[in-house]
Amino acid sequence: MSHVGGHTEFLQGVDSPAAWRAAVLLLVCLQLHRPSPVHAAVSLSRGSYRADGCICASDILSCTALALRHIPGEMPVSTVTLDLSHNHITQLEDGTFQGLPQLETLRLAHNQLTAILPGAFRNLSGVLLRNLDLSSNHLCVLEEHYFQELSGLEELLLFNNRISRVEGRPLAGLTNLRKAYLSHNRLTDFPFFSIQKHSHPHLSLLDLSSNRLSKLPLEDILALPHSLQKGLYLHNNSLWCECPMYSLFRSWEQQEFESLLFFRQEHICLVYGNPRGTVRFLQHGRYLEKCNLSAVTQKSSVNVTAGKALLLHCATTLSGHAVTFLWVSPSLESVLPPGNNGSLKMFSNGSLEIVAAREKDTGIYWCLAEDRQHHRNETWEVNVTVLADANDPQEPFNTGFTTLLGCVVSLVLVLMYLYLTPCRCPPCLKAPPPATATPSLGNEAGVGSAQSSILTPTPPASTEGPGRKIFFSVRATRPPSSLISTLTHDHRKDRKHASEQRHACTRRCTDERLI
């Protein structure tokens, strides 16, 4: 009746019981007509507002740290991000999120959730919901029906719970799932077989670190898609120190998986399962040197960056104390334990380690495993390719120098081709020599040279008898001016023709060289 007390002025002057009853009934009706806090918030403007502790800004509804024990009954239908973290919510009931068709992100971290009832996400747009945060709660069992309605889920956060058991295939149907975080729980095993390439084509990260896994199903893990193996985190578990487990992690380390590079020190195992016998097996591999690392399939062709270490396994089915191993390097050098020259290190289990790969280490490495007790032997070949280090400062210099040298050589060859290559055109014609004079008998109409005298040494015929004196007449005759003009014109014409031929020949030779 505290609300009624707020209207004392309204009730003053009311004396009859009937009037009292009418006034009280009117006040009750007014109280029932008042909208709920969240509904009143929805009816306000689209800007930021505050109602009953919840903050709504555009399409975000934040109800964090309000000591809520239940999900609010009425929420804006336009909500895209709903934050209910840091409350006291204990369970999600059927139809809890009904009426939120636009919801994409749901945060329920740091609550006291112990159960998710069937249908909790029913009538929720499971195709749109992409991020679900259930971390730091009290979930103990991961049941199969939890996420059946969330086919569009991409990121699932379940770390820091109390999950000790996974029932069935709780991740089945989450075909769009990309990342799943289940670290810091109490898992003793996990159904790796339920994750296949066709069922989870986009899953690239599965964090199972800081649990209580003691043994790993090697076959199921190796059957996982390679992209998921690269993003599988298994550090800080209670793994037993066994050869199959050691072989798996050594293989991932060789392939430079991020889970091994970033958390190398956190990979531990227990000697004979004793919690006091903890070994950081990737840092102190001598405890597992006798393991046959061929349990993990060795590829027949591997690549390694220059300067990096590479571990080669002698893949063989032979086992026992009577089995001996021998490696032959590409330089036909035999390698026996413990190795030689400091560049190759060999273990008693048959594995060969290239301490720091160099370019000359490229080639085929041949392994021989021999069981002298049963008179059996097997061989294995591995083709190793050493790649140049992309971060090597000398490499860009070598590339630039080679390019410059190639340009200079090309320019020299072009110049040699243009100026030193013999011309394939016919020889240029030369100007004919000037015409020479032709001697003839002398008369003024005879033909003679314009530059020489015409001599007529032949004596004239005489009918005189002997004893008469004979005189030789020598007379220089001058050719006519018309003949001199004709010869001069022909000579100039020949010289001009020869000059034109020489120019044409030169142009043709130049064109052929340029082509």
DSSP string, 212-225: ------HHHHHTS-
pLDDT band at 272 (very low <50, low <70, confident <90, very high): confident
Q: What is the pLDDT at residue 88?
A: 96
Q: Is the pLDDT of residue 465 over 60?
A: no
Residue 338 in domain: yes
User: Structure tokens of 476?
Assistant: 């220089």
At 159-200, the pLDDT tens digits run: 999 999 999 899 988 999 999 999 999 999 999 988 988 889
Query: What's the average model confidence in pLDDT over 473-498?
Result: 60
Q: What is the pLDDT at residue 491?
A: 63
Question: Rounded to whole angstroms, how far apart are CA atoms 121 and 129?
Answer: 10
At 253-270, the pLDDT tens digits run: 888 899 998 999 999 998
Residue 345 in domain: yes
Nearest to 210 by CA among 273, 267, 143, 141: 267
Query: What's the average model confidence in pLDDT over 117-126?
Result: 81
Q: What is the pLDDT at residue 229?
A: 93
C-beta atoms surrounding 101 within 10 Å: 13
For the chain, the first-to-last Cα distance in angstroms comes to 109
Owner of token pair 């010869």: 487
If you average pLDDT over every residue of the chain, what do you get? 77
At 373-428, the pLDDT tens digits run: 878 787 888 899 999 876 655 555 566 778 888 889 988 888 887 777 665 555 55
Q: What is the dihedral of CA 181, 182, 184, 189, to 10 degrees?
A: -150
At 195-223, the pLDDT tens digits run: 988 889 999 999 999 999 998 988 889 88
Q: What is the pLDDT at residue 485?
A: 61
Q: What is the pLDDT at residue 437?
A: 46
Q: What is the pLDDT at residue 428?
A: 54
At 128-151, the pLDDT tens digits run: 899 999 999 999 999 999 998 899
Query: What's the average model confidence in pLDDT over 278-290?
Result: 78
Residue 360 in domain: yes
Residue 440 in domain: no
Q: Is the pLDDT of residue 329 over 50?
A: yes
What CATH code is carried by the domain that includes residue 303?
Answer: 2.60.40.10
* pTM for the full predicted model: 0.54
Q: What is the pLDDT at residue 4?
A: 37
Residue 249 in domain: no
pLDDT band at 38 (very low <50, low <70, confident <90, very high): very low
Q: What is the pLDDT at residue 453?
A: 41
Element (H, E) at 81: strand 81-83
Residue 255 in domain: no
Determine the structural domain holding residue 331 and report its residue range. 299-387
Query: What's the average model confidence in pLDDT over 84-97?
Result: 93
Residue 123 in domain: no
Q: Is the pLDDT of residue 443 over 60?
A: no
pLDDT band at 37 (very low <50, low <70, confident <90, very high): very low
Q: State CA 53 to chain mean position distance.
A: 47
**Structurally, how many domains does the chain consist of?**
1
Query: What's the average model confidence in pLDDT over 61-72?
Result: 94
pLDDT band at 40 (very low <50, low <70, confident <90, very high): very low
% the chain with pLDDT above 70:
68
Q: Do 354 and 304 meet the contact criterion of CB atoms below 8 Å apart? A: yes
Residue 234 in domain: no
Q: Is the pLDDT of residue 346 over 90?
A: no
Q: What is the pLDDT at residue 197?
A: 80
Q: Is the pLDDT of residue 467 over 60?
A: no
At 301-317, the pLDDT tens digits run: 888 888 888 888 787 76
Q: Do 134 and 109 meet the contact criterion of CB atoms below 8 Å apart? A: yes
Which of 19-28, 127-136, 365-374, 450-459 has maximum average pLDDT? 127-136
Beta-strand pair 165-166/141-142 = parallel
